[in-house]
Structure 1
Amino acid sequence: MPKNKFQEVIFTIIMVFFMVYAMICYNIVLNTGAMTNQVFLSAFHELTFMGPIAFVLDFFIVSKLAFACASRMVDFRSCHPFSMILAISVASVAFMCPMMSFFATLFFKHAGNQFIAVWLQTTFMNFPVAFFWQLIYAGPIVRFIFRHIFPEKENAKEATLNM
């Protein structure tokens, strides 16, 4: 897990890439009704503006809310690290999914006067996929990558040097 602001930025960038790219692919498939190779290319185009939105929301708003909610679900001082990660992940999806679905509805759905209904439908369609993608794939992959970029041994040495 990130130990300083720089690591938080890197972690968030990696997580945003994995989550937003996958969710964009999923939504393109929902909209077109077919999974094709073109979906992967089209998703990169949408990632150029949905990614920064997700980064700003996650880094400045959701991460703090998710941490606060997670700390109410489990006692961070005495719980198993997996419980802490699970609680933070669940809370993150609970906040990010409606927010990102709002922007997806705004930019792609042309909802007009049905905006609230379409936003809620988009959120409900996205939530199960975002939840399981985060818990089973994106979260573990991102933590694996992060651990290899910032090994704990380096973090321990840095903490010792800062004392």
Structure 2
Amino acid sequence: MPKTKFQNVIFTLMMAFLMVYVMICYNIALNRGDMTNEVFILAFHELAIMWPAAFILEFFIVDKVAHRLAFRVVDPQTDRPIFITLAISIMIVCIMCPVMSLIATILFKDAGSEFVAVWFKTTVMNFPMAFFWQMCYCGPLIRLIFRAIFRRTLEK
């Protein structure tokens, strides 16, 4: 969707913010065993670390890899744009979920000698939420907002 480097930065910042914030809330709620209003406030502490990490990973590494992987499944010349968007989004989740779970495990979990098991469990617990949040809510919402912000430049 973004047509310029500037638009790509804005799009990635918006997408990373909403994905990371919701996933942090989800993980805090899992760890506490309950979802409360306090979770939304607590999430901002981790957001300061995880949002920049997600942006840097996505912008400089994951986006390129996800496109290459997606284009093994879909053809940008012949397939409908929605299938291309979905293929890229799926690949991004498949890469970002384990990587961001790894970062969260290193920074926020006291895994000790069980590090690999804790990372694996974190990834497995996060993947369904990340996948459905991205496909059903975050992705469509951010694309809608992005199109509203850049309507004139996207129409050209």
Gaps of 5+ in 2: none
In structure 2, how many angstroms separate the alpha carbons of the residues matched to 1:154 and 1:136? 26
* 2:16 alignment partner in structure 1: 16
In structure 2, how many angstroms separate the alpha carbons of the residues matched to 1:154 and 1:56? 25
Bigger Rg, which one: 1
* 2:75 alignment partner in structure 1: 75
Q: State TM-score, norm by structure 1.
A: 0.94
Aligned sequence identity (%): 58
* 1:133 alignment partner in structure 2: 133
Does structure 1 conserve the Cα–Cα contact (< 8 Å) formed by 2:147 and 2:154?
no
Superposed CA offset, 1:57-92 (max 9, x none): 100110001111111110011100100000000000
In structure 2, how many angstroms separate the alpha carbons of the residues matched to 1:140 and 1:155? 16
In structure 1, how many angstroms separate the alpha carbons of the residues matched to 2:144 and 2:153? 15
Aligned to 2:72, what secondary structure does the other structure show?
helix
| 1:82-161 alignment, distance < 5 Å | 82-151=82-151, 153-157=152-156
Aligned residues between the structures: 156
In structure 2, how many angstroms separate the alpha carbons of the residues matched to 1:131 and 1:113? 29
In structure 2, how many angstroms separate the alpha carbons of the residues matched to 1:77 and 1:143? 21
Aligned to 1:78, what secondary structure does the other structure show?
coil
In structure 2, how many angstroms separate the alpha carbons of the residues matched to 1:97 and 1:25? 15
Does structure 1 conserve the Cα–Cα contact (< 8 Å) formed by 2:24 and 2:46?
yes
In structure 2, how many angstroms separate the alpha carbons of the residues matched to 1:22 and 1:115? 24
Return the offset for 1:156.
4.1
| 1:8-87 alignment, distance < 5 Å | 8-87=8-87
RMSD of the TM alignment (CA)? 0.8
Gaps of 5+ in 1: 158-163
Return the offset for 1:154.
2.4
In structure 2, how many angstroms separate the alpha carbons of the residues matched to 1:12 and 1:154? 17
Does structure 1 conserve the Cα–Cα contact (< 8 Å) formed by 2:69 and 2:91?
yes
In structure 2, how many angstroms separate the alpha carbons of the residues matched to 1:156 and 1:141? 19
Aligned to 1:73, what secondary structure does the other structure show?
coil
Misfit runs of 4+, over 6 Å = none
Return the offset for 1:113.
1.1
Which amino acid in structure 1 is aligned with residue 150 of structure 2? F
In structure 2, how many angstroms separate the alpha carbons of the residues matched to 1:98 and 1:90? 13
